[in-house]
């Protein structure tokens, strides 16, 4: 689930790593990114051991099982925008090294950014995301659809700037 929550950050950053920053980006500061959990994820998270829940909180992630959401906080600034997707992914280092994705394609129209990406490793998958920013760029909503030969997953959520870093 954590990797899925970070997908909104990953897709935005992937374009930056490809050498061209999207013209539409969040403003600098501390952000809270809230993702709605599908019922099966909510059930799995409800069975999580208290130690694991505490570790998640220490890494800036908080679950609200009643609401069915998970919120991650992170700081975005000029120094880390190109590494925004790496937050909290240290234990996924091996998987990151094995990941193989094409350069993302994005389109910006007004306050909406659409991104598409295709990956071949560790499994074949396509991702389509739509980000709808507010006028001040201090909040946005997102929807992601990830499709692999085994399944399709749809996620949505929102992000808002909650202060300074």
Render pLDDT for 98-113 as a digit per residue (tens, 0 to 9): 668 888 888 899 999 9
> pLDDT tens track of the chain, all 165 residues?
444 444 444 444 444 444 455 677 777 889 899 999 888 778 888 788 888 888 888 887 888 888 889 998 888 887 776 554 444 343 334 445 566 888 888 889 999 999 898 988 888 999 999 999 998 888 999 999 989 998 888 889 999 999 998
Q: How far apart are CA 47 and CA 43, in angstroms?
A: 7
Q: Give the chain's end-to-end CA distance (angstroms, integer).
A: 25
What phi, psi does 91 have (nearest 5°)? Answer: -75, -10
- Dihedral over Cα of 7, 96, 116, 138: its sign: positive
Go through the domains of the chain in sequence order and give each one's CATH number: 2-163 (2.40.128)
CB atoms closer than 10 angstroms to residue 10: 25
Local structure of residue 83 (DSSP, 8 states) = G
């Amino acid at each position: 689930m954590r990797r899925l929550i970070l997908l909104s950050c990953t897709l935005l950053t992937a374009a930056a790593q490809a050498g061209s920053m999207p013209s539409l980006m969040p403003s600098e500061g501390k952000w809270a990114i809230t993702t709605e959990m599908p019922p099966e994820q909510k059930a799995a998270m409800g069975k999580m051991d208290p130690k694991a829940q505490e570790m998640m909180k220490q890494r800036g992630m908080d679950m609200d099982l009643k609401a069915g959401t998970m919120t991650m906080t992170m700081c975005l600034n000029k120094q880390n925008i190109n590494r925004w997707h790496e937050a909290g992914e240290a234990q996924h280092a091996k998987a990151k090294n094995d990941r193989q994705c094409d350069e993302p394609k994005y389109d910006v129209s007004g306050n909406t950014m659409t991104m598409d990406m295709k990956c071949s490793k560790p499994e074949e998958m396509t991702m389509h995301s739509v980000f709808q920013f507010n006028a001040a760029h201090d909040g946005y909503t997102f929807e992601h659809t990830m499709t692999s030969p085994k399944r399709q997953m749809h996620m949505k959520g929102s992000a808002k700037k909650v202060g300074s870093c």
